[in-house]
Structure 1
Amino acid sequence: MSPSTARISWQEYQKLVPAAYAALTSLSQAVAASGLEHDLVEMLKLRASQINGCAFCTQYHLNAARKLGVPREKLDLLIVWREAGIFSAREQAALRWTEKLTFIAGDHVTDEDYSGVSAQFSPSELASLTTAVALINTWNRIAGPLQFTPPIPKPEREPAHV
């Protein structure tokens, strides 16, 4: 498999559809101001991006989660969160909800699914959580097919030569 190159860069996307970009940015700001824990939101965005195979969003949200101080173990084990034993009940509920909404076409959300997430989140939080999942799935469906180049952080210092 050869490395992909951007079909359209995120900067070009922003210039081509400024109103859509502004709307997505506004929605992102609403989620950020919702009161949900920022580290939790980054983990659910990362998990949805892993599922959807979006390299840009996966790297973007890894970078953001690291800046927020999400423990490395949680980032390393996010893909196997059910088996990891290190995620809180609230985090597990959010990740389960993220997966249900991301796979919604193949497995519709049941009353049991809703009851499970409602046990951990208030109605307002659940509305914001659902919005965050919808938003990242929208970005995945833009950045993935257009193959935005992942934002690889520059190393803070040069690695030592062995």
Structure 2
Amino acid sequence: MRFNFTRQTPQVFDAMLALNDTISQANPDSRLVHLTKIRVSQINGCAYCVNMHVKEAQQDGLPDTLLHLIAVWPETSVFTARDRAALAWAETLTRLEGSEVSDADYAAVRAELSEQEVAALTASIGMINLWNRMGVGARLPV
């Protein structure tokens, strides 16, 4: 591990935990949160977070078949329309690459999720991106 951000910046870590808890309370659909946290962590290359969130999803009863196929979700039929909308939204927000999020991307997620669900899921996606960057930067071991 390069550095221990929980020890070096405990106030930041505590604030991140508090925000994470608030965001979790705003997201009633834990299935979508699990799927998107895993997918975003895969995209960002955070092995620590992928490992942790897969275990959490399994504990919450998500089937292994589903979890094994998250990385290739567009190629499978095991994900619901809601799952697909959330995963696409997560990928869009994670791979910004200096571009804006199109109205078509937003319309696609809004076709399956309410405005409140989109807002809460967006916060969750932003939070996991922050956790990933801390984990990758610190090289958290798996």
TM-score normalised per structure 2: 0.94
Alignment of 1:115-134 (within 5 A): 115-134=107-126
Structure with more helix by fraction: 2
Larger Rg over CA atoms: 1
Q: How many positions carry a matched residue from both structures?
A: 142
Report the RMSD for the aligned CA atoms in angstroms.
1.2
Point out where structure 2 has 5 or more consecutive residues left out of the alignment: none
Q: What percent identity do the matched residue pairs reach?
A: 37
Structure 1 match to 2:129: 137
Q: Which moved more, 1:43-52 or 1:102-111?
A: 102-111
- Secondary structure of the equivalent of 2:62? coil
TM-fit CA distance, 1:108: 2.9
Moved segments of 4+, more than 3 Å: none
Structure 2 match to 1:87: 79
Q: What whole-Å deviation, never above 9, does each CA across 1:107-140 have from its counterpart, x for those lacking one? A: 5310000011111111111111000000011111
CA contact (8 A) 1:45 1:136 kept: yes
Alignment of 1:6-25 (within 5 A): 6-8=1-3, 12-25=4-17
Alignment of 1:7-156 (within 5 A): 7-8=2-3, 12-105=4-97, 107-150=99-142
Distance 1:15 1:145 in 2: 15
